[in-house]
Structures are given as C-alpha cells and as structure tokens.
Chains A and B, each alone.
Chain A
Amino acid sequence: MSSRLIRIASVAAVVVASTAGIASPAFAQQASQVSVVHGIPGQPVDVYVNGKKTVENFQPSTVAGPLELAAGTYDVALTKPGEAVTSALLQNKSLAVPAGKNLSVAAHLDAAGKPVLTAFANDTAMIAAGKARLVVRHLAAAPAVDVRAGGKPVFSALTNPNEVKADLPVGTVNADVVLAGTSTVAIGPKDVGLKAGTSTIVYAVGSAEGKTLGLAAQTISGLAGAPTGMPAGRGPVSDGLGSIFLLVLAGVALGGFAFVTRRVVRRGSR
C-alpha cells in the first residue's frame, strides 16, 4: 500500500517536472514583432541585425517587417547599400527586445536634423468593435505640429520623437499636419483609411528645412474587439399579442380533447 503510494507520488513528480521543463522555455521563447521604419530622406540603406543583412536597399518612407525576434539584446546597423557593416551610418549595438511585444524601430532625423534610431512599443490592446486606432509619431526635423482631421485639430503640439494616439470610428480621415497653433500645412492633406480592429501608425518624417517632409505608415491588424452582445430576439410571440392566439389555440385543443374524450367514452359504453 505504502509502496504504491510512493510510486504514484514519484510518477506525479516526474509529470510535474517534465511539464515545468516544457513550459518554461516555451514561455521564454515568446518572440516580439519588430518592424523597421525608414524615415531618413534621400538615403536607401541595408539593415543588419546582429551582423546579418536582413533588409536590402531599404527605401525611405517605407516600413519593413515585422521581424520575429526572441527576447534579448540586438545589434541593429544601417549602412549605405552594399557597404560593409563596419562602416554603418547608424547603429544601436544594444537594442533591447522584451518578450511578446510589438515594436517599431525607426531610423529618422531628430529635431535638429541628426540621424537617430528610436524604438517605440506599439499599443496592441484590443480595440472596441467598430473602431480603429490612429497613432501619429513625429520623427521629422521640424518644430512642434498639430495633426488635423477634416481641418480640425485632433492632436496638438506634438514634438519629435513623441507619439499621440486615439481610437476613432471606422472610416476615412482626411488628415494633414500643420505647424503647432497655425494653419500652415506642413504635410498633406492625405486620406487615411481606418479599418475596424487595426492600428494605423503614421510617421511624419523628413526635414522642414530640406523641404523633404513626408509620411510613412504601418498597420497592425488583428486587434478587433467583438461586440459586447448579440441581442437577437425581442420576445416570443407568446409574450405579446401572440399569447392571446396561443390561449385560443389551447382552448380549441382542450375543447377538442373534451369532445374526443366524450366520443371515446360514449363508444366505450356501447
């Protein structure tokens, strides 16, 4: 009896140990999605991740990826197309990638016009049914800006390298970017289609001085929240006028039953 108990216990221990053994690396391996944004005008680049060429001849105002990268620290470098990684234009030797996140790494100009790499964590929270997320990131060598939709400011005084965001009704937004507090259009106008359950991230890039201001954009889908309920019935007929109909039906049936029974009884008595 006691040996049997011990055997059961040891089997249980093995099961627990092996389950834990399987579970922990799987948890650690949850990769992050990493997109790369090119926001430096006039200079196509090659992108190296840990010394390996990952994106070739990457054009300005485009977005590459997403790459699936396991949690860890990465060496990200940008070179002129075809040049050795040792002569990188821009490099971050210790880009931290946490587990299970959605990141965008942008090569862009800072407010003073110097090329830099900035990493953003993308908001992948579920979006309410019928809404879409709009994120605007100021990555241009330009002063503070307002973002307008249909001519009305929706985000104001946005500065490099910051972001603003909102969940908006689905549809097409006619957006432009103006110098903060003015109606001097810096970028746009441009129609931005906002689709349910997607996050559209718009990057304002380039240089005001160099007259190279423009937009890059990426979308993240699969964030659609479902409706909160499905009210697909407004009551049985019996709950309204129909109940009268049912009562009549029941009355007829009972009457019929009584009639039939009487007939049966009478026949039986014969």
Chain B
Amino acid sequence: MRRWAGLVVGMVLVALISSCAGPNSGTFGEDVVQGLATTSPAPPVTTVPSVPVRQGPAPARAAVQPVRLAIPAIGLTARVVPAGVDGNGEFSVPPSVDEVGWYRFGAGLGEPAGSVVVGGHVDDARSGPGAFYRLGDLVAGDQVSVVGEDGTTRAFRVVAKEQVPKKGLDLTPYFSAEGSARLTLFTCGGQFDGAARSYVDNVIVTAVPSG
C-alpha cells in the first residue's frame, strides 16, 4: 500500500516536471555535430589540375521534400510540411502541434551534403503535447525514418542530442547546406518563460544516414 502511494506521488511529480521542463534533459555528441557541420564529403582541391567550365546559370538542385517522419523509440509518426521563416527571420514552426516543418531553404533528402532540418513544437498550452514532445528522450543509436515525396524511405541513426540555451545560440551550423549529409531535429526545452511565452532552451537531435 505504501508502494502505491509512492507511485501516485511519483506520477504526479513526473507530470509536473515534464510539463514545465520538457522530458529528459542532458546532452551527448556535441563534438560529432561540430564535425558533421565542418567536414565536407568532398574536400576542395587546392591545386588546379582541371578547371570546370559552366554554361549559363547553374541547374536548380533537386531537393526531395520529406513528407513523413517516424521515430519508433518514442512512438512518433508525424506529417512533415514545408516551412520557411517568419517576418523576424525565425523558423516558422507549423501551427498544428501534430505536424513538423521541414526547412525548405535548406538541404532536402537524398542530397550529398548538408543538414535536412525538421522543427516541431514540444507542446502548446491549448493543444497539449506536440509531435516532438519526447524528442529529448532519444539516445544514441535510435532509428529515425523519413519518407520523401519521391516515396523513398531513408533511415537515420541518432548520434547527438543537445539542450542549449536559445539566447546567443548560432543556428548556422545546424542549418548549413554544407558539411556531411545529416538530419537535424529541433524542438524546445528547459524552463518556460511565461512572460515571453517561450522556452529558454532548444533541444537539438542530430542523426546521420544509416542505410
């Protein structure tokens, strides 16, 4: 009976903690993220053996748009919609908490380089937990699968999870279309600043192609 009481109190505590601080905090793989953002799949050649000649404007890149995201480890499947930036230059997270947004100005699926960025709400005061509510629970090696508009499913493996204060955070390495091909998942975490209606941290998960 005493055990039951402890369990109930524990559940309440978990509910209270997770609703204001997001689920798991803690960080791993920051060095991996740095490496992925800076290492290019084909390093530039310093000598000049042959010079490419281009005719007219460069052809447009065929970026495959992700349409569906699944992370079995946290029981997540979500629709992916294209997302840009708002008037302040901030990422336009899809308003529906059940959908996540693919950064349409960055890399798409199947490209040899760059970060495919997907951002989604952790929660909403009215709608409740968002698609990425449990993003912070992911651990190294967890599988992420992304279906593209071409119908192809691409598999990724989690290599890093970071929880970093938004203040002063430079998103450039996470959004860069350069560096190794990778998938970067964004949500919010940490304390909720009620006055600013905003969380103080971003939770960022980085995954690399595993197939």
Residues of A within 8 A of B (CB): 31, 36, 49, 54-55, 58-59, 61-65, 67-68, 126, 128-130, 170, 192-193, 195-197, 200, 202, 215-219, 221-222, 224-242, 246, 249-250, 253, 256-257, 260-261, 263-264, 267
Contacts and interface: CB of A to CB of B under 8 A. Distances in A.
B5 A261 contact: yes
Interface stretch (B64-72, B147-155, B187-195): B187-195
Given A230-B188, A232-B186, 13 more contacts: A36-B51, A129-B85, A129-B89, A216-B56, A227-B175, A232-B202, A233-B22, A233-B192, A238-B16, A250-B16, A260-B1, A263-B1, A264-B2
21 contacts: A31-B46, A54-B48, A68-B45, A195-B60, A197-B105, A217-B57, A222-B178, A224-B175, A227-B103, A228-B85, A229-B89, A229-B90, A231-B198, A232-B121, A234-B121, A236-B192, A241-B126, A246-B19, A253-B12, A257-B9, A260-B4
A232 B119 contact: yes
A226 B170 contact: yes
A143 to B, nearest CB: 24
A242 B19 contact: yes
Interface of B: 1-2, 4-5, 8-9, 11-12, 15-16, 19-20, 22, 44-48, 51-58, 60-61, 84-85, 88-91, 93, 103, 105-106, 119-126, 128-130, 132, 166, 170-172, 174-178, 186-189, 192, 194, 197-199, 202
Where chain A touches its partner, the secondary structure class is: mixed
B130 A233 contact: yes
Given A227-B171, A231-B198, A237 B45 contact: no
A55 B93 CA distance: 47
Nearest to B10: A253
B11 to A, nearest CB: 7
A42 B124 CA distance: 64
B95 to A, nearest CB: 9
B85 A249 contact: no
Contacts of A197: 105, 177
Contacts of B103: 227
A200 B57 contact: yes
B125 A65 contact: no
B54 A68 contact: no
Among B16, B45, B58, find the residue whose CB has the most chain A CB atoms closer than 10 A: B58
A267 B2 CA distance: 12
B19 A65 contact: no
Contacts of B119: 230, 232
A263 B3 CA distance: 13
A63 B54 CA distance: 5
Contacts of B123: 233-237
A266 to B, nearest CB: 11
Contact of B2 (A64, A200, A260): A260
B58 A257 contact: no
Among A218, A222, A235, find the residue whose CB has the most chain B CB atoms closer than 10 A: A235
Contact of B105 (A129, A202, A231, A241): A129
Contact of B51 (A55, A170, A233, A257): A55
A231 B90 contact: yes
A193 B174 contact: no
Among A55, A65, A202, A234, find the residue whose CB has the most chain B CB atoms closer than 10 A: A234
A242 B128 contact: yes
Contacts of B171: 226-230
B12 A239 contact: no
Contacts of A68: 44-48
Nearest to A70: B46
Contacts of A242: 19, 125, 128
Given A61-B56, A257-B8, A264-B1, A234 B197 contact: yes
A225 B172 contact: yes
B129 A227 contact: no
B120 A232 contact: yes
Nearest to B199: A233
A233 B122 contact: yes
Contacts of A236: 19-20, 123, 125, 192
